[in-house]
Structure 1
């Protein structure tokens, strides 16, 4: 049976297991975007490398490649050997590989350390997603998926703002921020345990909540595809924003740190409300609203001539992304049977980072061809179409129930 200790007796955020899982969630934003404000400085630091421009831009999404490859395999392992040891191993590896950029001598070796960091993220995110499904059910699970996105955003706000400040001192200093994850290990070690495996006698019906949806695999595949596209579009922000601001004549590190800080703050506040909004307008409604907010943000960014509309755009994009993101996790955990939650978490995690890794590979040629305004307008159009599709799906579902 699922471990639901404490549900109904206290708010989910007071459960120490939930706190530990939220700590783990905060690391995922740190993994990629923390060094974003330092990218122009890193490119200048290694200007003698003929591939500096491309390698520098790939440092942010580099962990995504490893996550995309490893997460499904980690999911299989989580279903077989348990979640706890994978989560703890991931945090330790995160600290070591994330901080390595402080001392590594060149861009290729820093890039390799970022790939190892992706393995750590795959371990953390896959185990964490499965544990949310193992520990919590119903409204508590939905609330925790929203809090998870808030933890990512508020953690990102702190880490990226700090990175923007230290990047002005040295382009290498943001790598030191990864060492802060060591403070999370003691609580995780104490409270994260693997729940007992469910047993089922021959010829009996499985316990409620363990069987999942009978069409869970194809439905999960659709979720995986949609989440990949969502993250590919969203990740334009941390990978291209600093270069956009420098093209406008601003201080790239300072402006990027500020804009991403606003994005994270907006997203964190939005995610706190996501479970309530979802209960009010349903999953289709929250997807439509979230994608519409993101589309508005990219449209504002396309025509932003000053800092104020650019910051407003960042706020809209962060709020929209934070509205849709918890629904992917909640839907996946509701669809997958208990024995496959690690696998479902692995594929869901992989989809996030496939989108992130593909983002600069697609957006950089578009910038060359159409400029930043063309890229942002294209992103706005894609998101508007996704919002319209979600709205039509919600309307069709509503009509069927009438």
Structure 2
């Protein structure tokens, strides 16, 4: 595949793996961290929020980072983000308590905002057409396969000490010299962009409403998906067949299935269109949560449910990026990428805040059933859009 021969694409795919590492890597260590800091009266909530703490700062800062990416440049913020990622990510190795570790995770989110926003803009600047569509799918695949490696490694080291998972973040150092060498600042084409999208023009305003819809939908999608890394360890523990290794295995299946589906994204999208991708993706996620409802009777159903959720999420995720890069004018790709990034992590951050009260009132099975019903409704709406599109494009006879 030609895109693999482009060193810039390889560097961007390596940087993409860091975004999964930011949140889900510490999931296998959550029960151990809660026990390690059991003296903290808020340990139950804080340990869950450690997974999504980076999401808070990303959600708040990513749009501003997007402005900086458009004004200052893509390369410098990407490299700064990688360096800050290593420092903040590994800080949990030596910080003394949960509140300080939580703060380090907030700083980690700033690093991820730099990386993801600059990366999205660079994909739009460097590539177009089929190459861009392929790369958006490969990014999700890289995140999933990277997550597979990181979570498996985290599950192994968490069995020795829950603090050791923070050392996994040091692997980001491997990305820095490659990105430093091959990522160059794209040539600016603002004059072209402003000809097509003059300030306040009708063309510029037209892209904002559909983009807002993408932002809301992506936030909801990530809210459902992040039930897995934030609540799954405790669900497994409550069912009596949990361990750090089991959590790592289940989340690795989640990543492996997602990475495999994302590899074929461009072919799937060409075959069934964007609405069809949404319909199949949300249906798969709904089916996965339904399997989790019944997984108490057969633990292997947990792995099957995780596989379906990962596959469905990986199917829909590249579509958000592809549609955003197609909608946004070139000189607004940084801002659009920042807002889109913020929507991802807004959904991730609010996921445990909304799912934990549901668990307290309806249990884990109630949470999974509610998620399944809502995702099935989203799939039905997308399917309706697919049928309408097929009818509208049917040749007249």
Same fold (TM over 0.5): yes
**Which position in structure 2 is the counterpart of 1:264?**
255
**Which position in structure 2 is the counterpart of 1:12?**
3
Aligned residue among 152, 158, 173 for 1:167: 158
- Cα distance in 1 for residues equivalent to 2:4 and 2:206: 32
1:363–1:202 CA distance, 2 compared to 1 (3 A): closer
1:202–1:304 CA distance, 2 compared to 1 (3 A): closer
Give the alignment's TM-score, normalised by structure 1: 0.95
SS at match of 1:60: helix
- Cα distance in 1 for residues equivalent to 2:3 and 2:134: 8
- Cα distance in 2 for residues equivalent to 1:314 and 1:204: 47
Q: CA deviation at 1:393?
A: 1.2
Runs of 4+ in 1 over 4 A off after TM superposition: 201-206, 211-214
**Which position in structure 1 is the counterpart of 2:348?**
356
Aligned residue among 389, 392, 397 for 2:389: 397
**Which position in structure 1 is the counterpart of 2:81?**
90
Aligned residue among 128, 131, 137 for 1:146: 137
Residues 356-396 of structure 1: CA deviation (Å, up to 9, x unaligned):
00000000000000001000000000110000011111212
- Cα distance in 2 for residues equivalent to 1:183 and 1:263: 25
**Which position in structure 2 is the counterpart of 1:116?**
107
Give the alignment's TM-score, normalised by structure 2: 0.96
Structure 1 position 317 matched with structure 2 position 324: no
Counterpart contact for 2:279–2:382, Cα < 8 Å: yes
**Which position in structure 2 is the counterpart of 1:370?**
362
Counterpart contact for 2:230–2:352, Cα < 8 Å: yes
Q: CA deviation at 1:251?
A: 2.6
- Cα distance in 1 for residues equivalent to 2:238 and 2:65: 41
Aligned residue among 361, 365, 388 for 2:380: 388
Residues 9-36 of structure 1: CA deviation (Å, up to 9, x unaligned):
x611221000000011000000000000
Structure 1 position 58 matched with structure 2 position 49: yes
**Which position in structure 2 is the counterpart of 1:334?**
326
Q: CA deviation at 1:326?
A: 0.5
Residues 332-376 of structure 1: CA deviation (Å, up to 9, x unaligned):
000000000000000000000000000000000000000010000
Residues 90-109 of structure 1: CA deviation (Å, up to 9, x unaligned):
00000000000000000000
Residues 223-253 of structure 1: CA deviation (Å, up to 9, x unaligned):
0000000000000000000000000001331
1:36–1:205 CA distance, 2 compared to 1 (3 A): closer
Larger CA deviation: 190-199 vs 291-300: 190-199
Residues 157-185 of structure 1: CA deviation (Å, up to 9, x unaligned):
00000000000000000000000000111
- Cα distance in 2 for residues equivalent to 1:43 and 1:379: 26
Counterpart contact for 1:212–1:335, Cα < 8 Å: no
Residues 170-201 of structure 1: CA deviation (Å, up to 9, x unaligned):
00000000000001111100111111111538
Counterpart contact for 2:253–2:303, Cα < 8 Å: yes
Q: CA deviation at 1:281?
A: 0.2
Counterpart contact for 1:149–1:325, Cα < 8 Å: yes
**Which position in structure 1 is the counterpart of 2:177?**
186
1:250-329, aligned counterparts within 5 Å?
Answer: 250-305=241-296, 306-329=298-321
Counterpart contact for 2:193–2:331, Cα < 8 Å: no
**Which position in structure 2 is the counterpart of 1:5?**
none
Counterpart contact for 1:13–1:144, Cα < 8 Å: no
Q: Which sections of structure 2, spanning at least 5 residues, go unmatched?
A: none
SS at match of 1:277: helix
SS at match of 2:265: helix
Residues 284-328 of structure 1: CA deviation (Å, up to 9, x unaligned):
000000000000000000111232110000000000000000000
Q: CA deviation at 1:215?
A: 1.3
Q: Which sections of structure 1, spanning at least 5 residues, go unmatched?
A: 1-9
**Which position in structure 2 is the counterpart of 1:38?**
29
Counterpart contact for 2:11–2:183, Cα < 8 Å: yes
**Aligned-pair RMSD on alpha carbons?**
1.7
- Cα distance in 2 for residues equivalent to 1:400 and 1:372: 42
- Cα distance in 2 for residues equivalent to 1:289 and 1:13: 28
The structure with the largest helix share of the pair is 2
